[in-house]
Structures are given as C-alpha cells and as structure tokens.
Amino acid sequence: MNKDILKSIREYKKESIMAPLLVTVEVFLEVLIPARMADIIDVGILGDGGVGYVIKAGLFLIFLALLSLFFGVSAGAAAAKASAGLAKNLRHDIFYKIQEFSFKNIDKFSSSSLVTRMTTDITNVQMAFMMTIRMLVRAPIMIVMSVIMTVMINKTVALILICAIPVLGGTLMFIGKKAHPHFQKVFDEYDVLNNDVQENVNAARVVKAYVREDHEIGKFHNISKRVYDLFSKAEKIVAWNSPVMQFTIYTVILCIVMIGGKSIVYGNMEVGELTSIIVYSLQILSSLMIVSFVFVMNMISEASVDRINEVLKEVPEMTDKENAIKTVKNGDIDFENVDFSYGGEGNTLALTNINLHIKSGQTVGIFGGTGSAKSTLVQLIPRLYDVTHGSVKVGGVDVRDYELTALRDQVSMVLQKNVLFTGTIYDNIRWGDEDADDDEVKRVCELAQADSFIKDFPKGYETMIVEGGNNVSGGQKQRLCIARALLKKPKILILDDSTSAVDTKTDALIRKAFREEIPDTTKIIISQRVSSIEDADMIIVLDEGRINGMGTSEELLKTNDIYREVYESQVKGGAEDAE
C-alpha cells in the first residue's frame, strides 16, 4: 500500500495497529485447536483416557474456539473501523483539495473522474486496506505456525507441505499478475462509463428534446459491453485459482494420507495426529489462497491509489503571497500588455496584447462574436486564471498581490454558465453573503428585477430551487444569479452575458437600477445585444482575442466595422423587437 495514502489514517492509527495484533492472537489460538482434537482422538477415544478425558478436553476445545472467535471478531471490527476511517479521511482530503483548485486545476480533471475517485477508487482502497491489515497478517502466521505444528508431529509429512507451498503460492501469484492489466483496463473503462451516465443524466432534458434516447442507449450499451468483456477476461484468468487450488489440495492430502496411513500401520503415528495434519494442511492451503486474493486486490487497488494520489498531489495553482494585500481600494481596472493562453507559455494565445484602463464606477460593455475571448478577458479580473504575460491590476494593485478571497469578495462575477444550488431562493441569494439580513436580500432582488417574480411564487422567497435551477425560467435564473452577485456589495460587478434570456425591457430596468443604486461600482457587461451596452461609458470590441475597437457607441459607429454591422442588423433591422 502506498505511503502517501496511508498518511490519511490519522485518528484511526490505533485500530490499524490493533487489528493485526488481535488477528495474531486469534491465529495462535486457532492453531492449537487441531492438536487438541488429535489428543481427544488418540488419548480420549483410542487410548485409555475414557469419557471423562473426552469431556474435559472437549470443553477446553470449546473454550479455545470461543476465545479465538472473540479475538477474530474484535480484529474484524477494528479492521472495519480502520479501513472505513481511512476511506472517510481520504474522501475528506480529496474534497478539501478540490476546493483549493483554481480554474486551471479544475480544467485538468473531468467532474465524473473526480466523482469516481471519491467513490469507486476509495472503496477499492478501503477493501484492500482492510484485507491487508487482517489477512496479510493472518495468512503468513497461520502458514508458519501450521508448518511448525506439522513438523512436531511428523517430519516426512511436513516435507510434502513445505514443497507444496512455493509451488501453489507461485502459481497463484502468477495468475494474479496475469489478471492485473485486465483489471486496470476495467477501471479506465469504468471512468468512461461513469462519464457517459453522468453526462446523460445531466442532459436528460436535451436528450428528450432531440429524441436521442435510442442513440444514448446504444452508446451506453457499447461501453457497458466493453466493461463486461474486460471484466470477463480478467475473471476468466482469476477463475483458474480455484481449480489449481483444488488440484493441489487433493494431491497433497492424497500424499499425506498415503504416507500417514503407512506410518500408522507401522505404529509411527496416531490416527488423531493424521487428522490434525490434514486440518493443518487445509489451513495452510487456504491461507495461501487468501494471500493470493489479497495480492490481486492490492494490485487492483494500485490503479485506484494512483488515481487518488493524482488529485491529492495536484498543486493548487494559486496561493496567497506572504503579506498579501487584504483591501481593494477602488474599482479601477488596468490591463497592461496582457497575453493569455489556457495552455500556458508557448501555446496558442486566447488573448493578445490587451491594454485597458477602466475607471472606478464606469460602465463598460464588452462586445464581440462567440469565441472572441470575452469571457476569457473578464475571468482575469477576479484572477480565475493568471495572465501569461503582462499584468492585470485592480484598484491599482496587481491581482496577484491580493489575498484571493479579498479580491474575489470585491470582484463579483456572474459566470456565463451559472448554477443555483438545491435549496430555497432565499438561501441561494444569501449564498453570496451569509451574514446578509432579509432587507438586504430583498434590496438586491429589487435591483436585479427579481423581487417581483419571486413574490408571485406561492411560497415567495421560500420557493425551493431544484438541482441545477431547472424549475425557474432561464431569465429568472439569470436575475437570481445577478442578485446573488450584488449581495456581496462588490467594487466591481461583471455580468458575462447574464441577461441574454431576460427581455429587453427588464434588461433596461436592471441597467437603470445599476446606474441609480450602485453608481460607484464598476460594471462590466458582456453582451451580444447592442441595446445592453449601447449606453455604456465605454465599449470594447473584441475580435479573435485582440481589441478591435474601443469607445462610446457613437464613436464606434463611425470607426468600427464589426460594431456598426451588428448595430445596423439589430437596431435598424428591428431584430430586437422580434426577441
């Protein structure tokens, strides 16, 4: 088992050590039992011990068995607690780590692979750990003790066992090694399967709207068949374990009985002794079987351990500097010679040579076709990503010099793909600031033009939002998200296409409220709709990651082709009224 993973045992160290110790006691007691049985047969029944001896020895035997049972159960409980505890801590660690991730870190892992890591992979590790601390101690002790007991009874017979152990052990290991790569493939395919199921369930409405159920079923069937095939292949190899085991056991027992029988005839061995030797050999062989099983389980879990470690070892890309600045002076924004690439240095640039100066309190529109890097540009302001070259400043200070939470508290952003959480509307809004009172919640909802429709719901602010916010309309969801962002009372508010589903009249009301109620807040509005940004103090036109034009709507109409073309098609063509 991997050292890094074992660090997560923490408060379950006691149980992790107790389990193997208890198992050791259990095995010592268990090994004594066949020898006692031999005595009952040889002395009590065949010898002259009589019924009294049989009863006395029998009671002792029961006592031994009960004691061994007690230790066995305790060991099982300790191992279960330790392994479940390890799993709990690992899950906690991964979750904690994910919370530290920057957008760049998140880009690296798919969400379904993170879910698989927190479920299937951790369960594998839990199983492997439990078996290791119970079985991997039990089996070797059992083998050694049983061999010693056999040697004490009959050296020739013991020799047969000693020869059989490496042969059987070797074969079982060989089978395990053969099966391992197949199991590894199974887990990779599991990822694909989970991804597919998650995507399908998340997009259930889209699938239905496009009547693509059959296609989706077909896709699922294929993946599921691949998992089945790979599993069958792996299991087919492992299935050899049992016949190999049976064959060896019966061969060994046959030899023992033959040699033992002769010894009894010649008077070198007692009947009971032969019985106990047979029991010892069964114990040895089944221990070997267990070792090979744990071995396979450990190999399977190795793939899981690697996948868990991948998350735990991911270095959070953004951390606070020492003496990071905690207060944002104002809502000034400056971009100085900014280049940005999602892939980092040397990859294609999403933004090229951006220079911008936005004054605190200004309203700035950002305009451009899809893929022109509008979202990319604004994501640099709350430092969701770090620039590749140049610098972004907020309140005159490089964003990298701020404490991350301080910066993001002052730069509130409504993401293009926004989500609401399961819970009441009230809770969802307050998620922006948990200390806000009812009046503040109501005020931001009024600002975002959400108050009126919330009040129309029978339960008002206590209306439950279902997962993903599917029980409110697109425009209502957008307004709730804006209200949530406003609650933070930010110095900079960024709306990334956040009113696309809101009708133009309401959209205008939202902008009016912004102008009147939060005049000191810098407002950055991304929109494909000219009317949403027309009255901004400055409009930035983006094209393929470069600034194509900058100025008021009036200026741009004279100087910028991209802006003029869209303006004419939307305003003059009356496309707006049709919306």
Ligand X SMILES: Nc1ncnc2c1ncn2[C@@H]1O[C@H](COP(=O)(O)OP(=O)(O)O)[C@@H](O)[C@H]1O
The site for Mg ion (CB under 5 A) is made up of: 375, 416
Q: Select 54 or 501, whichever has its Cβ closest to ligand X.
A: 501
Please choose which of ligand X, Mg ion, none residue 213 contacts, taking the beta carbon within 5 to 8 angstroms, the exact cut-off set by kind.
Answer: none
Helix (H) or strand (E) holding 413: strand 411-414
Candidate list 376, 428, 521, 522; residue touching ligand X; CB under 6 A: 376
Candidate list 368, 395, 432, 490; residue touching ligand X; CB under 6 A: 368
In angstroms, give the least distance from the CB of 380 to ligand X: 10
> What does the alpha-carbon distance between residue 244 and residue 472 come to, in Å, rounded to a whole number?
63
In angstroms, give the least distance from the CB of 108 to ligand X: 10
Candidate list 48, 345, 346, 370; residue touching ligand X; CB under 6 A: 370
Stretch that binds ligand X, among 85-93, 369-377, 433-441, 517-525 (CB under 6 A): 369-377
> What does the alpha-carbon distance between residue 292 and residue 167 come to, in Å, rounded to a whole number?
13
> What does the alpha-carbon distance between residue 399 and residue 394 come to, in Å, rounded to a whole number?
6
Inter-residue contact 492 to 521 (CB < 8 Å): yes
Instruction: Tell how strand 522-526 and strand 492-496 pair up.
Output: parallel
Task: Assess 371 for contact with ligand X (CB under 6 A).
Answer: yes
Please choose which of Mg ion, ligand X, none residue 37 contacts, taking the beta carbon within 5 to 8 angstroms, the exact cut-off set by kind.
Answer: none
Please choose which of ligand X, Mg ion, none residue 372 contacts, taking the beta carbon within 5 to 8 angstroms, the exact cut-off set by kind.
Answer: ligand X
Q: Select 375 or 560, whichever has its Cβ closest to Mg ion.
A: 375
Task: Assess 373 for contact with ligand X (CB under 6 A).
Answer: yes
In angstroms, give the least distance from the CB of 341 to Mg ion: 17
The closest of 523, 529, 516 to 494, measured between CA atoms, is 523
In angstroms, give the least distance from the CB of 107 to ligand X: 5
Please choose which of Mg ion, ligand X, none residue 348 contacts, taking the beta carbon within 5 to 8 angstroms, the exact cut-off set by kind.
Answer: none
Task: Assess 527 for contact with ligand X (CB under 6 A).
Answer: no
In angstroms, give the least distance from the CB of 338 to Mg ion: 17
Structure tokens at 106: 């998140």
Inter-residue contact 566 to 572 (CB < 8 Å): no
Inter-residue contact 400 to 386 (CB < 8 Å): yes
In angstroms, give the least distance from the CB of 173 to ligand X: 45
Stretch that binds ligand X, among 49-57, 126-134, 190-198, 366-374 (CB under 6 A): 366-374
In angstroms, give the least distance from the CB of 343 to ligand X: 7
Task: Assess 347 for contact with ligand X (CB under 6 A).
Answer: no
Stretch that binds ligand X, among 214-222, 285-293, 371-379, 423-431 (CB under 6 A): 371-379
Please choose which of ligand X, Mg ion, none residue 376 contacts, taking the beta carbon within 5 to 8 angstroms, the exact cut-off set by kind.
Answer: ligand X
In angstroms, give the least distance from the CB of 466 to ligand X: 27
Inter-residue contact 216 to 204 (CB < 8 Å): no
The closest of 446, 444, 484 to 465, measured between CA atoms, is 484
Q: Select 425 or 494, whichever has its Cβ closest to Mg ion.
A: 494
Size of the site for ligand X (CB under 6 A): 11
Task: Assess 523 for contact with ligand X (CB under 6 A).
Answer: no
Collapse the DSSP code of 250 into the 3-class scheme (helix H, G, I; strand E, B; otherwise coil) and give the result. helix
3-state secondary structure 20-44: HHHHHHHHHHHHHHHHHHHHHHHHH
Candidate list 126, 287, 375, 532; residue touching ligand X; CB under 6 A: 375
DSSP 530-568: HHHHTTSSEEEEEETTEEEEEE-HHHHHHH-HHHHHHHI
Task: Assess 281 for contact with ligand X (CB under 6 A).
Answer: no
List the x/- string, 91-110, binding to ligand X by CB under 6 A: ----------------x---
In angstroms, give the least distance from the CB of 496 to ligand X: 7
Structure tokens at 481: 């998200």
Helix (H) or strand (E) holding 358: strand 351-358
Task: Assess 350 for contact with ligand X (CB under 6 A).
Answer: yes
Task: Assess 374 for contact with ligand X (CB under 6 A).
Answer: yes
> What does the alpha-carbon distance between residue 473 and residue 258 come to, in Å, rounded to a whole number?
83
Of residues 131-160, which lie at the interface with ligand X (CB under 6 A)?
A: none
In angstroms, give the least distance from the CB of 500 to Mg ion: 10
Task: List Cα–Cα distances, 219 to 37, 186, 212, 215, in angstroms.
Answer: 60, 17, 11, 6
Candidate list 28, 342, 453, 457; residue touching ligand X; CB under 6 A: 342
List the x/- string, 190-229, binding to ligand X by CB under 6 A: ----------------------------------------
> What does the alpha-carbon distance between residue 460 and residue 451 come to, in Å, rounded to a whole number?
9
CB atoms near residue 423 (< 10 Å): 13
Inter-residue contact 359 to 521 (CB < 8 Å): no
In angstroms, give the least distance from the CB of 547 to ligand X: 13
Q: Is 264 exposed, middle or buried (0-12, 13-18, 19+ CB in 10 A)?
A: middle
Please choose which of ligand X, Mg ion, none residue 478 contacts, taking the beta carbon within 5 to 8 angstroms, the exact cut-off set by kind.
Answer: none
Please choose which of Mg ion, ligand X, none residue 373 contacts, taking the beta carbon within 5 to 8 angstroms, the exact cut-off set by kind.
Answer: ligand X
Provide CB contacts within 8 A for 136, sequence distance 6+.
Answer: 291, 294
Q: Select 99 or 370, whichever has its Cβ closest to Mg ion.
A: 370
CA 191 to chain centre: 11
In angstroms, give the least distance from the CB of 501 to ligand X: 16
3-state secondary structure 455-498: HHCCCHHHCEECHHHCCCCHHHHHHHHHHHHHCCCCCEEEEECC
Stretch that binds ligand X, among 142-150, 364-372, 456-464, 532-540 (CB under 6 A): 364-372
The closest of 220, 124, 229, 129 to 186, measured between CA atoms, is 229
Task: Assess 244 for contact with ligand X (CB under 6 A).
Answer: no
Residue type, 383: R
**Contact residues for ligand X, defined by CB under 6 A:** 107, 342, 350, 368, 370-376
